[in-house]
Amino acid sequence: MTDPRLINIKDYSYELPEDRIAKFPLEKRDESKLLVYKNGSITDSVFTQLYKHLPSNSLIVFNNTKVIHARILFERITGALIEVFCLEPLHPHDYAVAFTTTHSCIWKCMVGNAKRWKDDVLTKTVTTPAGQIALSAKLIDKTDDAFTVEFSWNTNEVTFGELLFYAGILPIPPYLNRETTDEDEQRYQTIYASCSGSVAAPTAGLHFTEYVFETLKQQHIKTSEVTLHVGAGTFKPVKSDSLKDHTMHEELMNVSKESIQDIISSLHTQSPITAVGTTSVRTLESIYWLGVQLLNGKKPVADFFITQWEPYDNSKSISALQSLEAVYQYMLSHHMDQITGSTQLIIAPGYAFKLVDAIITNFHQPENTLMLLVAAFTGSDWRKIYDYALSHDYRFLSYGDSSLLFRS
């Protein structure tokens, strides 16, 4: 395995003209173009025809995370606006529990215009169906890359999840250079989103419609879901020349026992596994490395954690089936319906994929970790794919067109 720490990020750059970035979604989700890369060849299609390009009896894995109204704007007495951007819950740490808390909770946040926030408590009146609620934000601590903020409100009748929905703004990618619209409320969310927690959409899934799901079902293509809550780090560029100096962002994930069974079944029958989006890829591959940890005798004290360089420091050969069965047996023995943890896994050229045979993904920004994942999957052909997309009028980034990439 080539060590990706030696990669020069400049080798994964390309020129992306501003007018190729899709600033708004198409009128219909599934009418986006679909670039199909298979066996070194590229063909054009449309997303409604996805079922024609996937093998029958294969498995598609989706990330069912849901984007939250993470941006909260507070106005100080001076008139200065301070934006508190909720990244992840700290107390309680579990997303599901955090969203059902009443009265107070603590979150890791980014803060815009932070220099204007001194020691005072920020307040905001929020209009909800239960009436007007006073929301307060108190600055607890600051780390290198984030702030610890305690939120409190003057009623036990409204949960933080409900409050955030009415107080916050749905965050859209910064490169769109515009404010969130009513259309974004619907379109910057997959139709199957169910687990709240992301601050960015798993955009490969934005193309799916009920019609597309029905065509897949008719082809006997199975579906399964995992959860990875997409953090703001997904937009983080690699600023160092060499990848070894880049710290990969950490994201929370959980996978159900049922989904583990789906994956094991596909491995037994040697049915191809297609991941919808880079987040699903990282989740699946992280579950493999959890199995390796278990087989190596490492037991999670609480939630598991996959470090960014773990695959590259591990020389033991363990099959995907062995690994997933170890995870499944661990869940059975601990009476777990789902397994939860965090992943910092970085997938870059030199990575050996364990579970994923095909990826459905949009076209990514140059010089970031999503681009590196695509290059790891397609080899040097990543440049051919992107040159083709640029020369054939494909739309790029979150609201852009899609691609279906097969591993050679």
Give domain limits for the chain: 4-66+188-406, 69-169
How far is 60 from 210, CA to CA, in rounded Å? 15
Task: Say whether 286 sits in a helix, a strand or coil.
Answer: helix
Nearest to 41 by CA among 51, 50, 53: 53
Q: Are 188 and 67 in contact (CB under 8 A)?
A: yes
- On the question of a cis peptide bond just before residue 92, with omega within 30 degrees of 0, the verdict is yes
Distance CA 301, CA 67 (A): 29
Q: Which fold has domain 4-66+188-406?
A: QueA-like (3.40.1780)
Consecutive 10-residue averages of pLDDT for the chain (408 residues): 85 95 97 97 98 96 97 89 94 92 94 86 92 94 88 92 95 93 96 95 97 97 97 78 88 96 97 97 98 93 91 89 97 96 95 97 95 96 98 98 94
What pLDDT score does 70 carry? 96
pLDDT for res 1: 59
Which pLDDT does position 329 carry in this prediction? Answer: 97
- Cα dist from 376 to 2, 84, 204, 316, 330, whole Å: 11, 35, 18, 20, 30
* CA end-to-end distance (rounded Å), the chain: 17
Write the Ramachandran bin of 397: left for phi over 0, alpha for psi from -120 to 50, otherwise beta.
left
The class of domain 69-169 in CATH terms is mainly beta
Tell me what pLDDT residue 276 has.
Answer: 98
Torsion angle defined by CA atoms of residues 6, 8, 11 and 16, in that order, rounded to the nearest 10 degrees: 130
Please give the single-letter amino acid code of residue 56.
S
Which residue reads 């970035």 in tokens?
A: 21
Largest CA distance in the chain: 65
Sign of the dihedral defined by the CA atoms of residues 155, 160, 161, 166, in that order:
positive
Task: Please state, in angstroms and as integers, the Cα–Cα distance from residue 119 to each residue in 82, 85, 106, 114, following that order.
Answer: 13, 18, 17, 11
How many angstroms separate the CA atoms of 75 and 147, rounded? 18
Phi-psi region of 165 (alpha: psi -120 to 50; beta: other; left: phi over 0): alpha
